[in-house]
Chain A
């Protein structure tokens, strides 16, 4: 079975540019999570969707960050405008239900110059 698929795997862009990260969750999973991983702060939950509806976005750092889930098989995380401090690895994870084990994608390594 295909796991969580994220694209792109790597993204390098200049500050001020818009960045869009994409995620395809595992088929049949109704919960989707976006995380950010940095050396300083470890893994942080940014936003959680259940049945395509954002339930908790308290981890989204600023208004520059936005996330959507237009359907059960696709989600995006957008940063506009991007800043160097946004450089991190961004992970998408999905689970069958909210309290079931979360399965992670391979992440997008984002570098903002």
Chain B
């Protein structure tokens, strides 16, 4: 199956940019996803990128994909306290199967 790895923790000051990194192993992945999970809630689909794209921007979110290095990143501009959550990277490795990373806990400090 697919292995997806991401760092476990990130602390960032309010107003700064956050960058969350992820690596995956299966180069045949078609879509790569970022989900956000707030305490007691489900996984909210933040954004996703098709594997033939290098970058996707959506308001404060920028996704960068380096297919050669199998590296995915999520940049959150002007990080706010409401951005504190766990962020999951996920890659598809089959028709329907998603492999999730362990999640990065982002803490925004004043």
Contacts and interface: CB of A to CB of B under 8 A. Distances in A.
Interface of A: 4, 6, 31, 33, 42-43, 45, 48, 50, 55-56, 91, 93, 95, 98-99, 101-107, 109
Contacts of B44: 104
A106 B41 contact: yes
- Most chain A C-beta atoms within 10 Å of own C-beta, residue among B31, B35, B98: B98
Given A45-B98, A48-B96, A102 B42 contact: no
Dominant secondary structure of chain A at its interface with chain B:
strand
Dominant secondary structure of chain B at its interface with chain A:
strand
B92 interface: yes
Contacts of B35: 104
Interface string B81-101: 000000010001001111010
A87 to B, nearest CB: 16
Nearest to B101: A42
A15 B100 CA distance: 30
Contacts of B95: 98-99
A33 B100 CA distance: 14
Nearest to A3: B42
Given A99-B30, A101-B48, A91 B96 contact: no
